[in-house]
Chains A and B, each alone.
Chain A
Amino acid sequence: MHAPRTECLLNLIDQEYAIRDYQSDIPPRWCTGCGDNAILTAIQRLCRDEQLPPEKTVFVSGIGCSSRLPHYMNAYGFHGLHGRAFPVAEGIKMRRPDLHVFVTTGDGDCCSIGAAHWIHAIRYNMDMTVLMHDNQIYGLTKMQASPTSPRGLRSNTTPRGAYLEPLNPLTVTLGVPNVSFVAQAADWIPETLFDIVSQAYRHKGFSFVRVLQRCPEFMPHRFDAFVQDPSLTRLLVHQKGLTLTPDTSRTYRNQEIHDPGDLNRAREIASLTEEVPVGILYRNSEVPCYEDLREGERPNTPGLIRTVLDEEFDKFTIWPEDQPDQPAAS
């Protein structure tokens, strides 16, 4: 919130950020052909289009190939502990609600070791944009099965093929109370990826985007069928959803008009097995954000918290010198 005068003064500055302003000095170290590159590009385009000040933007991640993304952004970043991107991001948002918070996480990071944090982060509904890079494998540690790996996948941890049905991150998310934004994107359809990431960013609340991400290194042909046959992709369209370019519309003819307000239909779409839904499955801007619910009356500085705590503790402290003659307890 600014005073109108400040708003005018800010307008005096014509600073224009280009994509390269969001690019850090470190060149991406992902394998050539890795879908993470496409996600990075979508995010940089978003930052450029929204003109997000790098010093007001923060990328938080856990551990994994995908979680390296903060290094490649010229913005604040926190490359955290495996599975712990959400608690870190929540802390940042709580303390600095003025920052634009992004979380990048992998299927292992989010749905395996970080699953508990993930569920509660959905329920907390704090205003942040989450990109879950789902390559259905542990990439960084060189090919172990993840919770989203397809059944039968041979990997270093499942040499005879994965035994279990994979977990569906969309249906899980849609089943948690307070869910407010769920979308699915595919890294190989950059136009809609960008559109979805933009809408996720603009949604106030916890915007969860699962991005199907190609890992040519360890899952080389996993998504080939979908990349080559557009009819296997079901684009979810709606006036409140995606806006398609004529090109995309011509290529992806398998479309469904889906109102993102319809939670039941969203759950059905999320459960599709033969086709891959791409678009906004669910959006509800009415769900309150935890940082707003718990917004304090006063700023919480560490110093202030200590003062208040000391005041509280003092109430229960026994000061021997106050009553020298009496025993402490009787």
Chain B
Amino acid sequence: MDGISLELTSPRLIELDSEDSGESSRLRQQQPALFASYSDLRRLRYDYPLVLVEDDGGSARVQSLTDVVNALVRQVVPAGTQGKAFRWQLLYLEQTVRELVAAGTEGRLSRLWRKAEAELIKAADKADREALVKNLDLARETLETDGEVIDCDDKTPARFLVHAWNTIQAGKAKAFRKRIDGLILKLSDILKSDFTKSDKARSPEILKSAVGDTFDTDFDFDAMSRVLVEGSHADMLSPERRRRIEAVLMVLQSQRFYGPGRASGRWVEDVEPYTFVFDNCADAMDAFRDRLPQMVDFIEAVSIAELEIENKYRPELHDPFFQRLDESELTADDLALFPSYLVCLRDGESDAVETVRALEAIASGFPVKVLIQTDDILGDSSPEPPRASFAGGSARLAAMALGVNNAYVFQTASASLFRLQERVLKGMLYEGPALFSVYSGATKTVSGISPYLLSAAATESRTFPSFTYDPAAGPDWASRFDIRDNPQVESTWASHVLTYEDEALQRSSEAVAFTHIDFAICDSRFEKHWVPTSRSKWMDTMISASDLLAREGNGAASVVPYVWTIDGDGCLRRTVVDDRLLNSARRCAETWRSLQELGGIDNSHARCQLEAARAEWEQERQRLSGAAEVAEAVAAAPAIAESPVAAPAEETAPAPDSGVDAAEARAPDEPYIETARCTTCNECTQINNKMFVYNENKQAYIADPDAGSYRQIVEAAESCQVSIIHPGKPRNPDEPNLAELIERAEPFN
């Protein structure tokens, strides 16, 4: 039960007399005792109503009205007693909006806020009005959040999910437009720059229009055109490439998956975008299949565009590839580019076969997001509750969908939707199929309990547990499956403290488990299966239903199981329940238990392995403590070099000269260059470009020492500013002036 704690405030325990055996309607309206403090939700500040915040950037989140008002108070109301009146006024507005929405008024927050303001002003004293209006103006101007306001009712799951879907699509659309507009623009640039090279673009008229009116008399455009037209046209686009680019532009501009973007929009006014929201799976799948060829064309166009923009389209390589491309080759990445399909189903209203189709659609991997809204978990109402009255029909679908490995599955009740909205958004964002199973709490056979409270009770009682299966979260169940959104996940039933006033008018409290039975008795179809009893009828053999369920074997025919309830007057009773309810609760607990196992809580496999792992760990620990001793010994040894980077300069044996590594391969008197230090300054290559040649890094080496004279080598060594040419000894003993040259070479050898 989110947003509210299940702490109860003193329902009266009163004696019931004989009339409680009669069928008074008062007695027929028993509710779980733990509901006592939530009898009027309009007076509580909790997460509903919600504001479906609008924003086209893809980051909109649903907000709770209470959070919106809290934020507003923080922004505009002065701290301390000074702001007391103002704070009260804003809280009054919140309360009024909550009441309006509960009474069925629909509309955006701004509109409801205005209505609430009017009521507040009407109720205010004349003298206070001026200050009040000033406060209200300030608050209204500061309040930025706006969007439809919704309460928790039978329409909530669909409205919430459609909003989440819209949010995700808005983000996708934005990224899509940006990307596609960019491609369109760059392709158009290619065509445009090609045009500027054409004779037409160099005609006197176009040249003149480019210069404008101010200076047009200063130029001779005919002459200019003649000169320009004579220039080369060698790098014009080939007709084939131009056609390809034009075809791609056509596909990109006329796409219908998203509304047109800004750069592309003006050329495609008559294109209607596709719809992606459906009320049945068959239509959604048909639409998807019909659009496959267009999707393939589009993906092909995007790839070709990207290649063309890089100037990397090679017809001989790529043509065959694109000829082969068909729908079977669409990858998850490709599909993620397009909007996903949203199908909203509602148990009882949608065709019964739709639930089967939904499973099929999900299993086919088709990018569909299915909402299955369940209004009734306990099943058929005619005339008896069904034998397996727990989680029948559509409510079981989510559990079945878990078998589809690559589908995102999320189940929860309306009351938790707001708190778990990131789970919803994640499922919408997930690139594969997703199933959302939501219990609305709007069960027709339950009266006097709000959908919010009933849906919270469904989760609380394990009748409709929350769970998430997220295939993107990791490779195994441990990372994918999560039941932590349920209260007190470790235990069979969630337990709460029930505080009440006892017969001596003293405060008394007791830990009470909230079981499936507590949920079931809210439903009028189960009336026959329970009887409320007054204190006078209580017996020693009475035992709380949860205690009985916890007993091995459950047996004991002699005991009388009960749950705590209150009637319309807030009187506390023990309501005795029959075997049907007990059996139902047992099945519910079993199902919960298997969810716990899947969720890794007290998992039976894990328990076995834990034993084994403990033993292994013990061994490992012993081994490690041995290793630690070794490590200590190593640390005590003299430190080696402090810094590995600076070390080589100090540590290596002093080298007689750089370039020694190469020396081994060289005859002692051969001329050479320390090539790695060459600065490409062209000095040596200009002296003799046969002898001195640049390598693949454009640095000089001696390619052929016999391609010139010893004199040239010595001169090069002298001109080389970084002194990396070493002339060695002369190779031709007949060269003139050798003695002088050898002397000049000396400093460089």
**Contact residues of A with B, CB < 8 Å?**
1-6, 9-10, 12-13, 18-19, 28, 32-35, 37-38, 40-41, 44-45, 53, 55-56, 187-191, 214, 216, 227-228, 237-239, 244-251, 253, 255, 257, 297-299, 301, 304
Contact = CB atoms under 8 A, between A and B. Distances in A.
Interface stretch (B310-318, B340-348, B452-460): B310-318
Contacts, number: 142
Nearest to B309: A98
A240 to B, nearest CB: 10
A78 to B, nearest CB: 15
B721 A214 contact: yes
A253 B697 CA distance: 25
Given A5-B303, A6-B307, A188-B679, A304 B263 contact: yes
Contacts of B321: 9, 12
Contacts of B649: 249-250, 253, 255
A37 B679 contact: yes
Chain A to chain B: the 7 pairs with minimum beta-carbon distance, closest first = A38-B679, A41-B680, A6-B306, A299-B185, A41-B698, A298-B262, A253-B649
Q: Which of A3, A12, A191 has the most CB of B within 10 A?
A: A3
B78 to A, nearest CB: 36
Contact of B696 (A19, A187, A191): A19
B680 A32 contact: no
A33 B721 contact: yes
Contacts of A1: 179
A191 B680 CA distance: 12
A34 B318 CA distance: 46
B686 interface: yes
Interface in B702-725: 719, 721-723
Given A245-B676, A247-B674, 4 more contacts: A5-B331, A12-B321, A190-B680, A227-B723
Contact of A257 (B179, B337, B643, B682): B643
A247 B674 CA distance: 10
A304 B182 CA distance: 13
Nearest to A10: B312
9 contacts: A2-B306, A3-B333, A5-B303, A18-B696, A44-B698, A45-B698, A253-B649, A257-B645, A304-B263
B721 A32 contact: no
B181 A237 contact: no
Nearest to A34: B681
A178 B303 CA distance: 37
Interface stretch (B85-93, B576-584, B606-614, B651-659): B651-659
B302 interface: yes
Nearest to A38: B679
A33 B680 contact: no
A254 B551 CA distance: 82
Q: Which of A191, A246, A247 has the most CB of B within 10 A?
A: A247
Contacts of B383: none
A41 B697 contact: yes
A304 B312 contact: no
B652 A250 contact: yes
A10 B321 CA distance: 12
A45 B696 CA distance: 9
B417 interface: no
A40 B680 contact: yes
B159 interface: no
B241 interface: no
Interface string B105-132: 0000000000000000000000000000
B677 interface: yes
A159 B106 CA distance: 87
Interface string B647-667: 011101001001101000000
B699 interface: yes
Contacts of B682: 28, 32-33, 37
A270 B414 CA distance: 64
B676 A250 contact: no
B206 to A, nearest CB: 16
A9 B721 contact: no
B333 A4 contact: yes
Contacts of B679: 35, 37-38, 41, 187-188, 190
B683 interface: yes
B333 A247 contact: no
A298 B174 CA distance: 9
Nearest to A54: B311
Contacts of B185: 299, 301
A33 B721 CA distance: 7
A41 B312 contact: no
B149 interface: no
Contacts of A32: 681-683, 686
A1 B337 CA distance: 14
B391 interface: no
A297 B721 CA distance: 53
B365 interface: no
B438 to A, nearest CB: 34
B262 A304 contact: yes
Contacts of B661: 246-247
Q: Which of A56, A237, A238, A299 has the most CB of B within 10 A?
A: A299
Contacts of B525: none
A3 B303 contact: yes
Interface in B671-705: 674, 676-683, 686, 696-699
A227 B312 contact: no
A251 B654 CA distance: 10
A44 B179 CA distance: 32
Nearest to B300: A5
B547 to A, nearest CB: 59
B177 interface: yes
Contact of A13 (B177, B312, B333, B676): B312
A239 B676 CA distance: 22
A53 B310 CA distance: 9
Contacts of B179: 1
Contact of B303 (A6, A40, A257): A6
A193 B686 CA distance: 24
A9 B303 contact: yes
B263 A247 contact: no
Interface string B335-363: 00100000000000000000000000000
A247 B660 CA distance: 9
A3 B307 contact: no
B310 A191 contact: no
A237 B312 CA distance: 39
Nearest to A220: B721
Nearest to A7: B306
Contacts of A41: 679-680, 697-699
A5 B680 CA distance: 42
A237 B407 CA distance: 52
Contacts of B302: 3, 6
B646 interface: yes
B597 to A, nearest CB: 38
A41 B681 CA distance: 10
B600 interface: no
A228 B334 CA distance: 60
B299 interface: yes
B310 to A, nearest CB: 7
A216 B696 contact: no
